[in-house]
Amino acid sequence: MKTILHVSCSPRGDAAESDKLAWKVIEQLRRHEPTAVLVSRVIGGGQIAHIDQDYAISQGSSADVSQDGTMARSEELVRELERSDFVVIGTPMHNLTVPSVLKAWIDHVVRARRTFTITPAGKVGTLRDRPVFVAIASGGRFSGDRARQPDFLTPYLKTVLAMIGLHDLTFFSVQGTGAGPDAVAEARAQADQALQQHFAGRRL
């Protein structure tokens, strides 16, 4: 039985465009894997604290530190990620990049000597690769012919998740949500089309 991990990052919850798009991805996955178990990790309301002193000390050295506090939360989140077969991240773009809540989640799961090792050749991920789908909502447009702002979100996620062994990333987006209802409807239609094209006839 497969497991889908859904990481929801918007403070708007179910009302968020990113969350609606993430659920469409999950629906597509369930068509392929109807018995899949869904694990929801809601972080949009700040449910995950930023790393604490013991965690920071552990990353800077091999010192033995307390396993309480955010070290315990980190282990919980890493195991949740390890058990997943698919990851769906629904996130807004905040100030051209990831929101702080998603950065907090990343700081917990990207952990030295746990999800990556440091070698003379650089950092090497230790997690098994699996499909990661990122559903993005943005008030402005950051890709395509009508892009009007830079994108630091997608290249960052590609780099930081690859560092722990997750290379199979696919991005979907609803862009231009700040341009009014007509623009939102158009962006939703484009995202739906991209979803259909991606999953049509695909074996997961």
Residue 63 has pLDDT above 70, yes or no: no
Contact 123, 61 (CB under 8 A): no
Residue 173 vs residue 178, higher pLDDT: 173
Of the candidates 154, 159, 134, 157, the residue with the CA atom closest to the CA atom of residue 144: 154
Mean pLDDT, residues 85-95 taken together: 97
Could you write out the three-class secondary structure of 79-112? HHHHHCCEEEEEEECECCECCHHHHHHHHHHCCE
pLDDT of residue 64: 61
- On average, the pLDDT of the chain sits at 92
The better pLDDT of the pair 69, 168 is held by 168
Domain carrying residue 20 = 3-199
pTM for this predicted structure: 0.94
- Cα distances from 85 to residues 3, 67, 174, in angstroms, run 5, 27, 25
CATH number, domain at 173? 3.40.50.360
Number of domains in the chain: 1
Any domain includes 166: yes
Residue 143 vs residue 77, higher pLDDT: 77
- Range from 57-66, 97-106, 138-147 that averages highest in pLDDT: 97-106
- Span of 59-68, 125-134, 179-188 with lowest mean pLDDT: 59-68
Q: What pLDDT does residue 68 have? A: 74
The reply to whether 204 falls in a domain is no
Q: Between these two residues, 184 and 97, which has the higher pLDDT value?
A: 97
**In the block, which residue shows the tokens 């780099």?**
159
Which pair of tokens denotes residue 1? 């039985």
Q: What is the pLDDT of residue 114?
A: 93
Strands lying side by side in the sheet with 37-42: 37-42, 3-8, 86-92, 132-138, 169-175
* pLDDT for the residue numbered 77: 97
